[in-house]
Amino acid sequence: MGREDSHYRPEGPDGRRTGRPGAGGVTGRVPVPEANVPRVAQPMPGPAVGASTGPAPTGPNGGTSTGTGPTGGAGRDLPPPPIYRPPGAPPAGSAGSADRPPGTGSGYADAPGATAAPPDAGPPGPAPRRRGRRLLVLAGVLLLVLAGAGVVVTRPGPVAGWLGDEVAAPTPGATTEPPPAAVLTGLDPNAAEPTPDGVRAALAPLVGAPALGSRVNVSVTDVRTGQTLYGQGADDGTVPASVAKLVTAVTVLAARGPAYRIPTRAVAGPNEGEVVIVGGGDPTLAVDDDGFYPGAARLDELAEQVRQALGGVAATKVIVDSSLYSGPKYEPGWDDDIPTGGYGGAVTALMTDGARKDPVRARKDLAAGNGGAERVPEPDLAAGRAFARLLGVPGDAVQRGSSPAPGGTDAGTPGPGAELGTVESPPVIRLVDFMISDSDNLVAEALARQVALARSQPASFVGAGAAMDEVVGELGLPADELALADASGLSRSNRISPSLLTDLIALAGNGSRPELAAIFAGLPVGGWSGTLLSRYDSAVTNTGAGVVRAKTGTLTGVHAIAGLVTTADGRLLSFAVLTDRAPADTIEQTRLALDRIAAALAGCGCR
């Protein structure tokens, strides 16, 4: 069973066609600025990440990198992904280093290709694969070390502002973990470019595997040059499943910016003692400090602000205003079991913990590898009742309504519509990571509505789809190869071409739009994290372990993977493989067939 749902209904149409040759061309549509001349990073204190400061570069298993990828088959232990530390920052365990708070996702990670173990650190011992610790080190995402693409872009400056965090000093006497070794293979700035003929020779025997079904659409692009190296149905609209979240991520980062935070407000109601809670679309809002998402805004803190603002006036009623969103709460193209299947739910402007009924249990289940969770059917009212309890208001005094127009005050008492308090979500850069690392569908739908609001569209499924299409066009990408009914990939009505995905990934990774690089933070790493945790461990796929970083998507009969891969020569490629007519009863075989394609790219120079 995939993350999205468990039923497949074969489709009649082939998806939207664009009129362009299905095989794609051999010239990419996203030029990489200054790709042929390595960019000089701005001078920074301390050694530059990725610079040679001692021993030879380490490969995925901690040994000297030979460009051949990890070795070993099933049952091997991989070290954890690298942690980024800004140039000049103290190493782990010294004053000023940031501790990693416990979490439940697959991990914050570094930018593609980055390594950050201090040169004087001893090699860590083998570590079991795990996903229970989220690495809150998103700063590394914005330091792009794309040496293999001929682009070195050092951008630590704005990251602290985007995250809004201060580096916490370690607790005296606390035990600190040694710096982990790198997982992702280092890039070679002098790596030879693969040729279309070489890539075709590597992939042609694999794309026709019976387990992939009758329609397999593929695109492979060189990140440095933007050249399309391989295309089969590359421009054809295909059901993307959860890979659609890559489009959601890029468009919200472009439209809102990495630092934007979603507010949840409380205002005075029309009558004394009445409080209106106004949903702003934050799906990560928590009731208290035991919520599902790390660093979430909290209703108990909002309630305290309200009590202070009301002075001696007791709250008597809570009105829930979730009118920011319009249209249906469930996308009409979703399968019937989505509302109760554990991975989807009602999309409302006010909710707590992604509408999960029991966030504590959901955290434990996610740490154990199960991201499904029971969702409440009316998330806005459930959040309103939780807020009412914190204010001492009975549950039967909670109802839906709207905020009154702001008025004046009467003898110091807040008048109708006066703001009583506000709490804000983590910044968009972190919400994007939640969405991608855990394939969080409700976070995806919330972020898409932020794109809609930023482009003056209705905050609905239709409005979000139109707004994302608009932003994709603004970025210079082929919007005619995109048709989104939702932002999570749950809908079978979605269509995305593989070439749009590889162009989008190349744009996010080439350094021309540094804010878009946040999409790489949560991408699962082959053989290490997320949906790729237990993959790339067979004899025919292990060259992709620690080398493939990609988003996966699964509906019954629909399988997709798109992301980055480093070739054996150290060249960075973007790739996308989408199949939406796979046999319904060959899930594992289909995933293996997909992984063989990415592993073939990792294992060859393709010249």
Q: Which residues are catalytic?
A: 242, 245, 439
**Spatial distance between the Cα atoms of 599 and 541, rounded to a whole number of angstroms:** 5
Contact partners, residue 133, CB within 8 Å, separation at least 6? 100, 102, 103, 107
- Torsion sign (Cα): 397, 403, 405, 410: positive
Query: How far does Cα 253 stand from its chain's mean position?
Result: 11
The single-letter code of the amino acid at 83 is I
**Spatial distance between the Cα atoms of 426 and 443, rounded to a whole number of angstroms:** 12
Residues 440, 487 contacting (CB under 8 angstroms): no
Name the one residue in this structure whose structure tokens are 């965090």.
165
**Spatial distance between the Cα atoms of 331 and 351, rounded to a whole number of angstroms:** 18
**Spatial distance between the Cα atoms of 300 and 388, rounded to a whole number of angstroms:** 10
* SS3 (DSSP) at 144: strand
Phi, psi of 521 (to 5 degrees): -60, -45
Return the closest-CA partner of residue 361 out of 353, 373, 369.
Answer: 373
Helix (H) or strand (E) holding 53: none
Return the closest-CA partner of residue 262 out of 281, 248, 244, 277.
Answer: 281
Residues 156, 139 contacting (CB under 8 angstroms): yes
State the DSSP string of 364-389. HHHHTT-----B-S-HHHHHHHHHHH
**Spatial distance between the Cα atoms of 474 and 191, rounded to a whole number of angstroms:** 32
**Spatial distance between the Cα atoms of 245 and 266, rounded to a whole number of angstroms:** 31
The single-letter code of the amino acid at 27 is T
Return the closest-CA partner of residue 347 out of 252, 207, 486.
Answer: 486
Q: How far apart are the first and last CA of the chain?
A: 38
Structure tokens at 468: 């994302």
Return the closest-CA partner of residue 261 out of 162, 379, 140, 356.
Answer: 162
Phi-psi category of residue 230: left, alpha or beta, with phi > 0 → left and psi -120 to 50 → alpha: beta
Residues 363, 292 contacting (CB under 8 angstroms): yes
Contact partners, residue 203, CB within 8 Å, separation at least 6? 218, 220, 230, 597, 600, 601
How many residues can be counted in the chain? 607
**Spatial distance between the Cα atoms of 305 and 301, rounded to a whole number of angstroms:** 6
Phi-psi category of residue 511: left, alpha or beta, with phi > 0 → left and psi -120 to 50 → alpha: left
**Spatial distance between the Cα atoms of 330 and 352, rounded to a whole number of angstroms:** 17
Structure tokens at 68: 């051949």
Q: How far is CA 298 from CA 278, 291, 440, 443, 470, in A?
A: 14, 8, 20, 17, 33
